[in-house]
C-alpha cells in the first residue's frame, strides 16, 4: 500500500517513529494509503531545515523567488488531470470539480504570489524639516501553515505561496484526512529544484504534529484555516509567545434573496452555493432567506432543481454530489438533520445517507437536504454543519432579514440577490460578514481581502495583505541636518 512521506530538508522521508495512520477513500470507505503519524521530533527536524534555508531564501531577489514559484505552478498545471483525480479520491469531491476549481486555483495561487512579490512597495514618511522615515518589510523567518480537508491543495497553496514569495521558509501541515495532493506537491517542489528546507511538509494529526508546529518557539507566525474551536486552541498556545496569527475559521453564511432578484440566475447559483463540494465549502450559504412574495415559488423550483442533482461516484463526470469526506463527518451532518427535526424543522428534500452500488457500496454519501420551518435562532440555524444541509426561511422586511443574518456568532461571507442597487449597498454595509457577494457567489479576485469577522477569524488573506502578514515592519528614521 502506498506510504505517504514527509518532505523535510528537500527530501522525502519516513516519520522518525515509523508510525502510520490510515488514509481513507470516502467513496469506497476503504483505506487506500498510509500517512506518517508525525510527532514533535519530525517538526523539530523540519524547523531546523527551514532555519538553515532561511538566510539564502530571504536574500534571493523577488525575481529569483518568482522563478521557482512559477516553475511549481507550471508543474501543477502539467499534472492537472492526475492531481484532480487524486484530490477526488482523497476527498470524495467530484473529479470534475477538482479539475475545474481546486487544482487550477492551486496554479493561480502560485502564479499570483510569484508576480505579486515583484510589485511590492513600501512607504516613506517625511517629518518636514526634521527627518525622513522609511518602512522596511522583512520576511519573518520560519512560519507555519496549517490547512483543512475541504479544499486540500487549493487552501494549502493559498498559504504556502505568499509565505514563500515574501521570503519566509515554511513548515506546513495539510489535514491528515486529505494529505495526498500535498504529498504530490512535495514531489513537484523537488522536481522544480526548490532549495532544500525552503518548504517542509509534515503529515499527521492536528493535535500532535499541528500542535508541535504552533508550539515551536522558532516558528514566528501561524497561518491557519480550519474550525473555530481549533483556531481558539491555536490562539491559546500562540498568544503568550506573541506569534503573528492569521485565522480563517468557520462560517454560517446567509443567502438573502429579495423578490426583485434575477430569478433564474439566483436559483441556479443558489443550488451551487448550497451544495457544491457536498456543502463543504466555508463560503457555502447554509441559511437561505427568501422575501415572502417569492418564497413559495422559490421553494418549489429549488426543491425541483436540487432533486435533479446526481449523487454518485466522484470519478464519473455526470456526478454532481460526491462523497462526504469521512464517516465521522457524515455522522455529524446526519446528527444535525436529527436535531433539525427535534427543533420542529420540516425536511423538504433529502435528509438521509445514501447507499450506492458497485465500487461505492460502502462509501459515505448523503442526500442534499433542504429544511424549512425553523426559527432563525435555533441551533440548526446557528451552528456550523459544514455539509449538504440548508434551511429556508421567509422574511418580510430588510431590518428583519438583517437581524436573522447577523444573529450568528460567525461572520465569514454573505450573498445578496436584488436588482435594487441602493438596497444592495445598504445591506452590504450592514451585514456582519468579511466577504459579501451581490448577485453572485464565489466570484473571486485574488487581490481582494479574504477572511471573516466575529468567530470566523482574525486577519485577512489575499492580495498584498497576505504578503505583509509574512513580513515584519520596521521603521527607519533618518534625522536630516537641514542647517548645512
Active-site residue, 14 included: no
3-state secondary structure of 412: coil
Helix 103-116 vs helix 62-78: crossing angle, to nearest 10: 170
Residue 213 CB, nearest approach to ligand NDP (Å): 7
Of 154, 68, 169, 143, nearest in space to 106 by CA: 154
Residue 235 CB, nearest approach to ligand NDP (Å): 10
Q: Which is nearer to ligand NDP, 311 or 412 (CB)?
A: 412
Task: For residue 110, report the phi and psi dihedrals to the nearest 5 degrees.
Answer: -65, -45
Active-site residue, 360 included: no
Residue 453 CB, nearest approach to ligand NDP (Å): 11
Contact 224, 231 (CB under 8 A): yes
Q: Which is nearer to ligand NDP, 160 or 267 (CB)?
A: 160
Q: How far apart are CA 441 and CA 438, in angstroms?
A: 8
5, 87, 176, 248: the catalytic one is 248
Residue 234 CB, nearest approach to ligand NDP (Å): 5
Residue nearest to ligand NDP (CB): 206
Q: Which is nearer to ligand NDP, 208 or 423 (CB)?
A: 208
Joined together, the cell numbers standing for residue 226 give 480550519
Which residue, chain included where needed, has cell 424543522? 345
Which residue, chain included where needed, has cell 457524515? 330
Beta strand segments in 283-362, E: 285-291, 346-349, 353-354
Residues linked to residue 371 through DSSP beta bridges, in sequence order: 347, 391
Enumerate binding residues for ligand NDP (CB under 6 A): 146-150, 155, 173, 175-177, 205-207, 210-211, 214, 225-227, 230, 233-234, 248-251, 282, 384, 386, 412, 452, 456-457
Contact 347, 371 (CB under 8 A): yes
Q: Which is nearer to ligand NDP, 418 or 455 (CB)?
A: 455
Evaluate the CA torsion angle 376, 379, 384, 388 in order and state its sign. Answer: negative
Radius of gyration of the chain (CA): 23
Q: How far apart are CA 112 and CA 465, in angstroms?
A: 13
145, 168, 282, 360: the catalytic one is 282
Q: Which is nearer to ligand NDP, 155 or 189 (CB)?
A: 155
Q: Which is nearer to ligand NDP, 233 or 291 (CB)?
A: 233
Residue 147 CB, nearest approach to ligand NDP (Å): 6
Evaluate the CA torsion angle 443, 374, 259, 275 in order and state its sign. Answer: positive
Residue 21 CB, nearest approach to ligand NDP (Å): 9
Joined together, the cell numbers standing for residue 267 give 436559483
- Residues with a known catalytic role: 248, 282
Amino acid at each position: 500500500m502506498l506510504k505517504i512521506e514527509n518532505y523535510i530538508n528537500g527530501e522525502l522521508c519516513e516519520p522518525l517513529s515509523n508510525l502510520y495512520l490510515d488514509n481513507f477513500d470516502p467513496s469506497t470507505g476503504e483505506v487506500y494509503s498510509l500517512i506518517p503519524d508525525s510527532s514533535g521530533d519530525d517538526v523539530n527536524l523540519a524547523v531546523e531545515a527551514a532555519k538553515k534555508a532561511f538566510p539564502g531564501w530571504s536574500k534571493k531577489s523577488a525575481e529569483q523567488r518568482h522563478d521557482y514559484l512559477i516553475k511549481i505552478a507550471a508543474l501543477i498545471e502539467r499534472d492537472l488531470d492526475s492531481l484532480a483525480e487524486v484530490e477526488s479520491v482523497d476527498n470524495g469531491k467530484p473529479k470534475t470539480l477538482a479539475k475545474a476549481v481546486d487544482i487550477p486555483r492551486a496554479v493561480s495561487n502560485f502564479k499570483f504570489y510569484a508576480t505579486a512579490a515583484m510589485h511590492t512597495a513600501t512607504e516613506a514618511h517625511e517629518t518636514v524639516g526634521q527627518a525622513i522615515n522609511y518602512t522596511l518589510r522583512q520576511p519573518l523567518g520560519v512560519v507555519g501553515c496549517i490547512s483543512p480537508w475541504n479544499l486540500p491543495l487549493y487552501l494549502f497553496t493559498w498559504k504556502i505561496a505568499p509565505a514563500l514569495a515574501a521570503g519566509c521558509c515554511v513548515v506546513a501541515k495539510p489535514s491528515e484526512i486529505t494529505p495526498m495532493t500535498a504529498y504530490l506537491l512535495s514531489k513537484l517542489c523537488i522536481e522544480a529544484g526548490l532549495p532544500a528546507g525552503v518548504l517542509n511538509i509534515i503529515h499527521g494529526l492536528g493535535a500532535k504534529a499541528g500542535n508541535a508546529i504552533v508550539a515551536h518557539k522558532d516558528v514566528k507566525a501561524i497561518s491557519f484555516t480550519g474550525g473555530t474551536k481549533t483556531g481558539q486552541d491555536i490562539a491559546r498556545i500562540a498568544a503568550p509567545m506573541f506569534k503573528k496569527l492569521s485565522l480563517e475559521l468557520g462560517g454560517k453564511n446567509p443567502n438573502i434573496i429579495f423578490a426583485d432578484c434575477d430569478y433564474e440566475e439566483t436559483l441556479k447559483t443558489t443550488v451551487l452555493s448550497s451544495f457544491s463540494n457536498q456543502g463543504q465549502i466555508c463560503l457555502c450559504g447554509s441559511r437561505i432567506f427568501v422575501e415572502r412574495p417569492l418564497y413559495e415559488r422559490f421553494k418549489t423550483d429549488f426543491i425541483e432543481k436540487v432533486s435533479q442533482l446526481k449523487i454518485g461516484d466522484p470519478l464519473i463526470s455526470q456526478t454532481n454530489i460526491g462523497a462526504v469526506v469521512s464517516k465521522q463527518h457524515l455522522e455529524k451532518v446526519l446528527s444535525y438533520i436529527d436535531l433539525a427535526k427535534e427543533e420542529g424543522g420540516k425536511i423538504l428534500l433529502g435528509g438521509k445517507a445514501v447507499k450506492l452500488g458497485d465500487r461505492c457500496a460502502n462509501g459515505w454519501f448523503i442526500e442534499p437536504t433542504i429544511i424549512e420551518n425553523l426559527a432563525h435562532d435555533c441551533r440548526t440555524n446557528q451552528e456550523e454543519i459544514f455539509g449538504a444541509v440548508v434551511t429556508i426561511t421567509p422574511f418580510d422586511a430588510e431590518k428583519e432579514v438583517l437581524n436573522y443574518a447577523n444573529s450568528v456568532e460567525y461572520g465569514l461571507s454573505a450573498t445578496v440577490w436584488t436588482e435594487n442597487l441602493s438596497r444592495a449597498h445598504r445591506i452590504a454595509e450592514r451585514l456582519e460578514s468579511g466577504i459579501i457577494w451581490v448577485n453572485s457567489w464565489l466570484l473571486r479576485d485574488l487581490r481582494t481581502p479574504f477572511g471573516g469577522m466575529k468567530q470566523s477569524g482574525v486577519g485577512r488573506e489575499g492580495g498584498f495583505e497576505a504578503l505583509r502578514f509574512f513580513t515584519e515592519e520596521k521603521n527607519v528614521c533618518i534625522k536630516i541636518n537641514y542647517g548645512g
